[in-house]
Amino acid sequence: MKLEDKLKAMVEASGVSGFESSISDTIKSFFKDLSDETQVDPLGNLIFLKKGNADQPIKIMFAAHMDEIGLMVKDIDEFGFISFTNIGGVDTRTLPAQEVYIHGKKDVYGIIGAKPPHLQDAEDRKKTPKIEDMRIDVGMSKEDVENRISIGDSITIKRNLIPLQTNYFSSKALDDRAGILAMLHCFEILNNLSHKSDVYGVCTVQEEVGTKGAMVSTFEISPDIGIAVDVGFGSTPGLSKDDTISLGKGPGITLGANIHPKIHKRLLEISKEHNIPYQIELSPGNSGTDAQSMQITQAGVATGVISIPLRYMHTSVETINMDDIKNTGKLMAYFISSLDHEDLEEFLCF
């Protein structure tokens, strides 16, 4: 099964923050033959262990979140129209005229309607519709809706993985199932590399609502090194080059307060040694990734962040380049292999 097919299966599944169980089995099936142990913790994080060949191995944890932003049923009015709220940082400007699935007793297809421009006044046309003013139309009466849908059901945008030109792909939920695919590719490469470190690949839950999955999984694993594999802001017209990384030019290696300088330096060295294209991504404060929770768990963890360039973040047409995902997995694998003979204390000292 090609990486593109695995990505398609992951992004087209639903898994809004707090409702990740619906995608869990799909991800487990992909890691099944690549990991030595699989664990599901009480919060729902998937933890895949690939053992190293040392008596006292270094523990390296990679975290990529499997949850996606989405919506939740808030109310059903007398005509069967459904009001909703957001889960995570949904860009409400993109919601009108979207197709959605409401995950009730069975998935129910619907659309987010919009007031016709003919009936909007001049002031309405200047404003972005508020989420509380939008409704989902499923074409059923209130009674029929209530037989299938309940308050609190999750909602996802209906979107398939769309292949664009020159190895580009677009879909919802590439943030951060692209990171999970990179981690999967890393595990594939490790089958042919010697490594003494124990590698924990964690598909975290509830990153979009406060990196909660990373908090508990890092506490459980207590890794020596933790690296978040997430997406970074892809360059588009109108965005500053200082705030973005370019698609097709390799992963961003993040530098900032959330990052251990020795890990950043080693990732750069590995990229150069193995001719892996890379970019520098600056993150002066919290990275906004699972690394911000990993770093301060227990007595503290040395953390890094690798970012896959992504355009149109938190919309239903997020866009990536598959080469960036593959190069991210390659960078992860060779980083792991490079620590085979490392003195951890010396490596991480400031």
Check residue 346 and give its pLDDT.
Answer: 75
Q: Whose CA is closest to 189, among 57, 56, 290, 325?
A: 325
| Rounded Cα gap, residues 136 and 12, in angstroms | 20
Check residue 102 and give its pLDDT.
Answer: 98
Check residue 341 and give its pLDDT.
Answer: 63
Check residue 240 and give its pLDDT.
Answer: 85
Report the top-level CATH class of 71-157.
mainly beta
pLDDT at residue 198 is higher than 90? yes
Q: How do the domains of the chain map onto residue ranges?
A: 3-68+172-348, 71-157
State the amino acid at position 157 in one-letter form. Answer: I
**Contact predicate 157/316, CB 8 Å:** yes
* 3-state DSSP helix/strand/coil % of the chain, to nearest 5: 30, 25, 40
Name the more confident of 339 and 349. Answer: 339
Point out which residues pair with 103 in neighbouring strands. 107, 154
| Rounded Cα gap, residues 51 and 45, in angstroms | 19
Residues with Cβ within 8 Å of 1's Cβ and at least 6 positions away in sequence, in order, are none
Convert 167-180 to b/e letters by CB count within 10 Å (16 or more is b): bbbbbbbbbbbbbb
Point out which residues pair with 344 in neighbouring strands. none
Q: Whose CA is closest to 188, among 26, 328, 25?
A: 328
The tens digit of pLDDT for each residue in 241-264 reads: 888 999 999 999 999 999 999 999
The tens digit of pLDDT for each residue in 54-92 reads: 888 899 999 999 999 999 999 999 999 999 999 999 999
Q: Which residues are catalytic?
A: 207
Residue for token digits 């003979």?
341
Confidence of residue 121 (pLDDT cuts 50, 70, 90): confident
121 token code pair = 């006044």
Residues with Cβ within 8 Å of 189's Cβ and at least 6 positions away in sequence, in order, are 329, 330, 333
Check residue 350 and give its pLDDT.
Answer: 72
Q: What is the mean pLDDT of the chain?
A: 94
The tens digit of pLDDT for each residue in 311-325 reads: 999 999 999 999 999
Could you give the 3-state DSSP secondary structure of residue 144? helix
Check residue 348 and give its pLDDT.
Answer: 82
The tens digit of pLDDT for each residue in 122-156 reads: 777 777 888 998 999 999 999 999 999 999 999 99
Q: Whose CA is closest to 197, among 32, 349, 344, 45?
A: 344
pLDDT at residue 197 is higher than 80? yes
Check residue 55 and give its pLDDT.
Answer: 82
Check residue 241 and give its pLDDT.
Answer: 86
Q: How far is CA 211 from CA 96, 114, 136, 172, 292, in A?
A: 28, 33, 29, 20, 8
* Fold type of domain 3-68+172-348: Aminopeptidase (3.40.630)
The tens digit of pLDDT for each residue in 205-238 reads: 999 999 999 999 999 999 999 999 999 999 999 8
- Residue 155 sits at φ, ψ, to 5 deg, of -135, 135
Give, in degrees to the nearest 5, the angle at Cα 46 between 330 and 20.
110
